[in-house]
Chains A and B, each alone.
Chain A
Amino acid sequence: MEDATRTFGKGSCPPGPVPEGLIRVYSMRFCPFAHRTRLVLRAKGIRHEVININLRNKPEWYYTKHPSGQIPVLENSKCQLIYESVIACEYLDDAYPGRKLYPYDPYERARQKMLLELFYKILGYQNTVFFGGDCISMIDYLFWPWFERLDVYGIADCLNHTPALRLWTAAMKQDPTVCALLIDRSIFLGFLNLYFQNNPDAFDYGLTC
């Protein structure tokens, strides 16, 4: 994996200029926003290099790449810098040939962008602990199964970005109902493993009787 490199932290030397023919992404292995950009780089087969940044101990030089030291940031060999994950992804789609990830049709493009807005409304716009207010309610139970599964995959989020969601997940796990039905992580992973092999025993995985 090109991104399995140690992070650059405070006191580190700034990396040199980006070689011709490559684009650089400043990233962090567990950050979902940077993950978006790495997905697009891979999907489009764009030659790139990854520099991981220590987000709790940022190099001083990194603030010359982004005013508040956020990731992801793209840097090309012309020293152009592009940031905000969605902007970076669209830039890559526009600037590089090959498979287009956004549709050509203007309406279909608009539809994708409207869906993304919906996603943000779910992720970030709540200002109460639960989606319906200060107590758990229907909407929380309706969302929970998907987020529980994401949690099971053990994705350690870039916690700065989605503190509300992290709080919500923690609060949900304290709910007696959610607690009582929590799927055991290793059983779920065992199920998935068999399921992806199309093994009919998947569904009974973990049962002892």
Chain B
Amino acid sequence: MSGGSARSLAKGSAPPGPVPQGLIRVYSMRFCPFAQRTLLVLKAKGIGHEIVNINLKNKPEWFFTKNPFGLVPVLENSQGQLIYESAITCEYLDEAYPGKKLLPDDPYEKACQKMVFELFSKVPPLVTSFIRRQNNEDGSGLKEELRKEFSKLEEVLTNKKTTFFGGNSLSMIDYLIWPWFERLEVLELNECVDHTPKLKLWMAAMREDPAVSSLLIEAKAFRGFLDLYLQNSPEACDYGL
């Protein structure tokens, strides 16, 4: 139950017990980019945690008591406190746990990271639209829109003259946007970064990060998951196990 490669819990499953002291639990799904944000922060900060994977195509009834929206990720601590919405879970972990701060202390620098996050906000729905497009659509319109959004991010790196979005070392904003960039290759969207060289360099630098590389999803597994997920198969979330 504690591993990221555990079978998901589905309808009819028994709810997991209380979270043991000293650990925090994350309700997740192995291929979900939003949950990946939380896993990245847990890893980067070395926070002791257990993972409970949820079958998003066949959700356990008890899961809605964890998050009324029924979405992952959700954090649950040993005091029974529940936190959801991926960006909120990440900020909570940074505030509640010691060690390296991923968000800057300086109020303006922190606000800048949040403004970049807003700048990125059109990317996830665009990628979702691309994934869900019908077979006869070639997606070139969506690719063009993605290129536009990526240009905005390129401009940030150009103005800052740093490798990462928060400065010369990796920080919260980089982890928050990474999961979608990881998926570009397997989705055959890599061409969308052809005109944004700094973004390309950033992607390469991200892959060197220990937290990022430890959570990389194998391309074949992601493809296998995606095909089943788009068919609404209850087997999708456990693909490869």
- Residues in chain A within 8 A of chain B (CB atoms): 80, 82-84, 87-88, 90-91, 94-95, 106-107, 109-111, 113-114, 117
Bound Cα distance A82, B89 (Å): 23
Q: Which among B29-37, B108-116, B136-144, B182-190 touches the partner chain?
A: B108-116
Chain A contacts for B96, CB-based, 8 A: 106-107
- Residues in chain B within 8 A of chain A (CB atoms): 77, 81, 83-85, 88-89, 91-92, 95-96, 107-108, 110-111, 114-115, 118
Chain B contacts for A94, CB-based, 8 A: 107, 110-111
New A-B contacts (20) at CB < 8 Å, excluding given A106-B96, A114-B88: A80-B108, A82-B108, A83-B115, A84-B118, A87-B111, A87-B114, A87-B115, A88-B111, A91-B107, A91-B108, A94-B111, A95-B108, A107-B81, A109-B91, A110-B83, A110-B91, A110-B92, A113-B91, A114-B84, A114-B85
Give the secondary structure class of B's interface. Answer: helix
Chain A contacts for B111, CB-based, 8 A: 82, 87-88, 90-91, 94
Q: Ordered nearest first, which 9 A-B pairs have the shortest CB separation?
A: A94-B107, A106-B95, A95-B107, A106-B96, A91-B111, A110-B92, A87-B114, A110-B83, A113-B88
- Of the candidates A88, A91, A95, A107, the one whose C-beta lies within 8 Å of that of B92 is A107
Closest to B118 in A: A84
- Of the candidates B83, B85, B88, B114, the one whose C-beta lies within 8 Å of that of A90 is B114
- Of the candidates B88, B107, B114, the one whose C-beta lies within 8 Å of that of A110 is B88
Closest to B97 in A: A106
Q: Contact at B92–A106, with CB atoms within 8 Å?
A: yes
Nearest-CB distance from A69 to chain B (Å)? 15
Bound Cα distance A110, B81 (Å): 10
Nearest-CB distance from B241 to chain A (Å)? 31
Nearest-CB distance from B45 to chain A (Å)? 13
Bound Cα distance A80, B110 (Å): 12
Chain B contacts for A95, CB-based, 8 A: 107-108
Q: Contact at A117–B95, with CB atoms within 8 Å?
A: no
Closest to A111 in B: B83
Chain A contacts for B91, CB-based, 8 A: 109-110, 113
Bound Cα distance A90, B103 (Å): 13
Q: Contact at B95–A109, with CB atoms within 8 Å?
A: yes
Q: Contact at B88–A117, with CB atoms within 8 Å?
A: yes
Bound Cα distance A80, B111 (Å): 10
Closest to B87 in A: A113
Q: Contact at B83–A107, with CB atoms within 8 Å?
A: yes
With A80-B108, A84-B114 in contact, is A117–B83 under 8 Å at CB?
no
- Of the candidates B85, B108, B118, the one whose C-beta lies within 8 Å of that of A113 is B85
Closest to B93 in A: A106
Chain B contacts for A110, CB-based, 8 A: 83, 88-89, 91-92
Chain B contacts for A106, CB-based, 8 A: 92, 95-96
Chain A contacts for B108, CB-based, 8 A: 80, 82, 91, 95
Closest to A95 in B: B107
Closest to A93 in B: B107
Closest to A112 in B: B88
Bound Cα distance A107, B83 (Å): 8
Chain A contacts for B84, CB-based, 8 A: 114
Chain B contacts for A80, CB-based, 8 A: 108
Nearest-CB distance from B240 to chain A (Å)? 32
Chain B contacts for A84, CB-based, 8 A: 114-115, 118
Nearest-CB distance from A54 to chain B (Å)? 24
Nearest-CB distance from B68 to chain A (Å)? 9
A-B contact pairs, 14 of them (CB 8 A): A82-B108, A83-B115, A91-B107, A91-B111, A106-B92, A106-B95, A107-B77, A107-B81, A107-B92, A110-B83, A111-B83, A113-B85, A114-B84, A114-B85
Chain B contacts for A88, CB-based, 8 A: 111
Chain B contacts for A83, CB-based, 8 A: 115
Closest to B108 in A: A80
Bound Cα distance A107, B77 (Å): 10
Nearest-CB distance from A33 to chain B (Å)? 13
Nearest-CB distance from A104 to chain B (Å)? 9
Nearest-CB distance from B2 to chain A (Å)? 23
